[in-house]
Amino acid sequence: METLDLAELDIRDVNRRLQGRTGDSDASDFEVLNPLGRHTIAAGINRPINVHIRGHAGYYCAGMNQQAKVTIEGNAGVGVAENMMSGEVRVTGYAGQSAGATGHGGLLVIEGDASGRCGISMKGIDIVVGGSVGSMSAFMAQFGTLVVLGDAGADLGDSIYEARLYVRGSVERLGADCIEKEMRDEHREQLADLLKRAGFDANPDEFRRYGSARQLYNFKVGNIGYY
């Protein structure tokens, strides 16, 4: 395992190493020490490596991630895994606002709570939150899945398009055009798979499903292949 210490290295140097742009390391496991809430740690990686961030990260940690598995052993600030394309990002603690924002793919696991706007404008990412999510989560969510083992704050799924939301606890209030939907076998299967991949032991039957009433946008079923 290669150790990168932010007490000694600049954040740009650390990210260049992680991105494989320095050409002098074939390590596939990295640890980042002394993050101390610095921003953009492990952003822009596009290769299959493992990164362990030992402590709390600042804004946009693991942003734009592709292929890599990034674990934050602590809390993450605003916009963790924003615009993730693939790979996996795990936060063992709390995640700040806009976790997984605009993510296209990959899996984001937050073991603690997530603040407001979790999964805002998500476009295909799967997000599993062990705790609760704050208000306006999955705002304008287009595609992908948000799983919440705890409760959801006010205005869940406001102006939602085609994302699926599964919540085990209470929902303070549903947002505009977001409604509760029937849990069918295909949903229970999808949920069971996501819970397993995220490492949570929970019964899919305890969850409720929410999604779009499709009254706020012009949905044509003939165009389903493009959504």
Partner 1 sequence: MCGIVGLYLKNPELHPRLGELFAPMLIEMTDRGPDSAGIAVYREDPAVGTKVCAYSADTGYDWNGLARQMADDLGVDVRAERNSTHALLQTSVEGADLRGWLERERPDVRIMSSGRALEIYKEVGLPEDVLERFGIPAMAGSHAVGHTRMATESAVTTEGAHPFNTGDDLCLVHNGSLSNHNQLRAWLRHNAGLTFQTENDTEVAAAYLTWRLREGDTMDQALEHAMRDLDGFYTFAIGTRAGFSVLRDPIACKHAIMAETDDWVGMATEFRSLARLPGVENARIWEPKPATIYSWGSN
d(CA 55, CA 38): 10
Residue with Cβ nearer partner 1 (15 or 190): 15
The least CB distance from residue 81 to partner 1, in Å, is 17
Contact call for residue 52 and partner 1 (CB under 8 A): no
Q: Give, as ranges, the residues between 158 and 217 that touch partner 1 (CB under 8 A).
A: none
Contact between 134 and partner 1 by CB under 8 A: the answer reads yes
Residues 6+ apart with CB under 8 A from 165: 138, 141, 145, 146, 148, 152, 156, 157, 178, 209, 210, 211
Task: Give dist(CA 70, CA 47) in Å, integer.
Answer: 11
Q: How far is CA 126 from the centre of its chain?
A: 6
207 by Cβ neighbours in 10 Å (0-12 / 13-18 / 19+) ranks as buried
Residues 43, 53, 72, 96: which binds partner 1 (CB under 8 A)?
96
The 10 Å Cβ neighbour count of residue 80 is 33
Measured from the CB atom, is 59 or 161 closer to partner 1?
Answer: 59
Select from 99, 96, 59 the least CA-distant residue to 82: 99
150 binds partner 1 (CB under 8 A): no
Q: Are 133 and 118 in contact (CB under 8 A)?
A: yes
Residue with smaller CB distance to partner 1, 68 or 114: 114
8 Å CB contact between 92 and 114 = no
Residue 79 interacts with partner 1 (CB under 8 A): yes or no:
no
Interface residue with partner 1 among 36, 47, 206, 219 (CB under 8 A) is: 36
Find tokens 């395992």 and name the residue.
1
Q: Which stretch binds partner 1 (CB under 8 A): 18-26, 45-53, 69-77, 199-207?
A: 69-77
Q: Does 130 bind partner 1 (CB under 8 A)?
A: no
Separation of CA 75 from chain center: 13
Instruction: For partner 1, give the closer residue by CB, 56 or 164.
Output: 56
According to CB under 8 A, which one of 11, 18, 38, 91 is a site residue for partner 1?
Answer: 38
Question: Binding-site residue total for partner 1 (CB under 8 A)?
Answer: 22
Scanning 109-117, 160-168, 187-195, 216-224 for contacts with partner 1 by CB under 8 A, the matching segment is 109-117
Cβ 161 to partner 1 shortest distance, Å: 22
90 binds partner 1 (CB under 8 A): no
